[in-house]
Structure 1
Amino acid sequence: MSVQATISTNVADALKTKAETPRKKKRVFLAAPRGFCAGVDRAIQIVEKSIETYGAPVYVRHEIVHNRHVVSRLADLGAIFVESLDDCPDDRPVVFSAHGVPKSVPQAAKAREMNFLDATCPLVSKVHIEAERHAKEGRHILLIGHEGHPEVIGTMGQLPKGKMTLIETADDAREFEPNDASNLALVTQTTLSVDDTAELIAILQSRFPMIALPYKEDICYATTNRQLAVKAIAERCDLLMVIGSVTSSNSKRLVEVGAKAGSNKSMLISSAESIDWALIDEAETLGLSAGASAPEYLTDGVLAALKSRYDIKIEEVEVTKEKVVFRLPRQLLNK
């Protein structure tokens, strides 16, 4: 037999063996709800509609939402992302991100007679309104949140410096000393861990029984629902994957919630391209969720990648249905 014939035979045998080798079985628990929330969907629509209405380019102050796939797609459509209003020309529209901005930003835009559109999530705006109401009533405000996050910067920027104190940790809650313990109010970042926030609130309430709490929960419905869905599957997972950006607070909280709820391993991935296949290979049961700023096509991509390598059985675990929709700004309606 010739060398070429021998090689051809060996290749054929290898392909036959590969075809006959049974693929590993994997069970995938798919958390629901997952992915885009109403606030994120509205913010993206505002950028898209602004480009459609006013033409490109449209400037966006900060990433509209914390997901590079979303930002890249909008940039391809004609959005230019900047970190400061100083980077925007006077004669082009500018959109403020879903996380909210300090009050000084729209004031500066008005002073320059700019056409600006506010994509702040209405649930973040609710927190801003609460903080202003408490301040008018003479209360000092405690904000539970993460220092440096755009939402926290925006919320603290609603009031003059010194009117609000950031509480990040249990130690912060225990060590804070107010001028008047009977005249305090509490607000929170909308994308926090529900359980961790409850712990901080309990500490503050035990120290300051008269502290004014939010009329309704500040942590948004979408954050709460996604965390409940992860809790519903975590204990059954050898590996829980959450699709989202490393800059996304709500996505990182889902990873933490999954770990605390019993998943053997819990990790953040940006897309199918960042899957650690060695970890997947070792796991029999997988969990999959996505942060509120992660588009559903990323979930589809992860499932397709899994199907290409394994014999997978998908079970969607839905804890609730979401029907919330937020209206677009008035200047984009009927355009």
Structure 2
Amino acid sequence: MPDSTAPKRTVLLAEPRGFCAGVRRAIAIADQALQRYGPPVYVRKEIVHNHRVVADLRSRGAIFVDSEEEVPEGALCIFSAHGVAPAVRDNAARRGLDVIDATCPLVAKVHQEARRFARDGRTLLLVGHASHEEVEGTFGEAPDSTVIVETRQDAQELDIDIAAPTAILTQTTLSLDETEEITAVLRERFPNLAAPPTSDICYASENRQQAVKILADRAELVLVVGSTNSSNSVRMVEVAATRGARAHLVPDVGHFQAHWLDGITTVGVSAGASAPEELVDELLAALTEHGFANIEILRAAAENIEFGLPARLTAPAEESV
């Protein structure tokens, strides 16, 4: 007979979690391109940073390449959700590639800001991770006048005339708290620092981080479903850890380790903006097997944003060729 005095094992499941509007749009673009034009469809870089999504599209005829140079001349090529530098677009045009652009509109907004600030003669202080594809694309808008700032220490040590006109831009998937610290240093050091009218960190990253903070305050363990190369997923784990919870990134259920549950009564579960819900379902099933069958929804925000597809993918088939 079950021990009625034993603490109830509970999963707090965050909402919102998983796919954001930009990711849904990018995946839909790849899906529609495969249906409409048939394989092979070439995709420059991963369409979004999730191994399950990439594997599914690959099984259906998508070919993922590191460079547009690997795409046969004249072939169909999709640019990933993370955006590309103008040089990539120019090279694709020279090679006659049939390009469909899956860049997230919120990333495209940062590119537009970069061009505007560069035209104004400002040095761009781009806060982000230099190796991330999104930062590579934004940097490419004005490489001669852009400096990448990865850490608070970078911001403190920038060797730039403090009187020079500058502007701040950020990667869309950063930690809100860490970015605010870096921004505070830059604002203090550079009095002529301009900024976009609204934050570059996207609504989805912000909402998921806020939800994770609530999870971390109520759960001893926080599990974030997402791939290791997903910036927003990694940031969510970091946010949970800074709130005092034990936190792990779970690319898929095969990475889940049962010993994480030792001594735990409440587990918080969320998913990065590029993680499909099926990965969350698989993790929840594993937690249920270990006695965490009570699932409570924790709603931190409402999301109803949708981005439309390119017209060529929504027009009747005879008009799309």
State the TM-score, normalizing by the size of structure 2. 0.95
Aligned to 1:150: 133
Match of 1:46 among 25, 29, 33: 29
Structure 2 CA distance, aligned partners of 1:185 and 1:306?
46
Pairs aligned (count): 314
Aligned to 1:254: 236
Tell me: CA distance 1:200–1:55, structure 2 relative to 1, closer, same or farther (3 Å).
same
What are the Cα deviations for residues 53-85 of structure 1, in whole angstroms up to 9, with x where unaligned? 111010000011111000000001110000011
| 8 A Cα contact 2:25 2:307, kept in partner | yes
Structure 2 CA distance, aligned partners of 1:169 and 1:181?
22
Report the Cα offset of residue 243 of structure 1: 0.4
Matched, 1:68 2:51: yes
Aligned to 1:213: 195
Structure 2 CA distance, aligned partners of 1:25 and 1:95?
48
> How do 1:118-137 residues align onto structure 2 when only pairs under 5 Å count?
118-137=101-120
Matched, 1:110 2:65: no
AA of the residue aligned to 1:261: R
Matched, 1:269 2:239: no
Matched, 1:191 2:146: no
More moved, 172-181 vs 115-124: 172-181
Percentage of pairs with the same residue = 47
Report the Cα offset of residue 26 of structure 1: 1.4
Structure 2 CA distance, aligned partners of 1:180 and 1:204?
10
Match of 1:85 among 36, 58, 68: 68
Report the Cα offset of residue 298 of structure 1: 0.8
SS at match of 1:282: coil
Structure 1 CA distance, aligned partners of 2:120 and 2:21?
31
| 8 A Cα contact 2:127 2:169, kept in partner | yes
Report the Cα offset of residue 114 of structure 1: 1.4
Structure 1 CA distance, aligned partners of 2:66 and 2:191?
40
Match of 1:242 among 224, 242, 264: 224
Structure with higher Rg: it is 1
More moved, 71-80 vs 87-96: 87-96
| 8 A Cα contact 2:219 2:268, kept in partner | yes
Structure 2 CA distance, aligned partners of 1:209 and 1:233?
38
What are the Cα deviations for residues 210-237 of structure 1, in whole angstroms up to 9, with x where unaligned? 2001111000000000001011111121
Tell me: CA distance 1:220–1:311, structure 2 relative to 1, closer, same or farther (3 Å).
closer
| 8 A Cα contact 2:42 2:76, kept in partner | yes
> How do 1:221-236 residues align onto structure 2 when only pairs under 5 Å count?
221-236=203-218
Tell me: CA distance 1:73–1:24, structure 2 relative to 1, closer, same or farther (3 Å).
farther
Aligned to 1:313: 294
| 8 A Cα contact 1:27 1:285, kept in partner | yes
Aligned to 1:327: 308
Matched, 1:297 2:306: no
Structure 1 CA distance, aligned partners of 2:292 and 2:62?
41
AA of the residue aligned to 1:37: C
Structure 2 CA distance, aligned partners of 1:51 and 1:329?
14
Unaligned runs of 5+ in 2: none
- C-alpha root-mean-square deviation of aligned residues, in Å? 1.5
State the TM-score, normalizing by the size of structure 1. 0.91
| 8 A Cα contact 1:24 1:311, kept in partner | no
Aligned to 2:122: 139
Report the Cα offset of residue 21 of structure 1: 6.8
| 8 A Cα contact 1:25 1:312, kept in partner | no
AA of the residue aligned to 1:209: P
SS at match of 2:293: strand
Structure 1 CA distance, aligned partners of 2:99 and 2:109?
20
Structure 2 CA distance, aligned partners of 1:39 and 1:62?
16
| 8 A Cα contact 2:17 2:270, kept in partner | yes
Matched, 1:202 2:184: yes
| 8 A Cα contact 2:172 2:205, kept in partner | yes
| 8 A Cα contact 2:252 2:283, kept in partner | yes
Unaligned runs of 5+ in 1: 1-19
Structure 1 CA distance, aligned partners of 2:71 and 2:209?
37
Report the Cα offset of residue 283 of structure 1: 1.2
Match of 2:145 among 163, 171, 176: 163
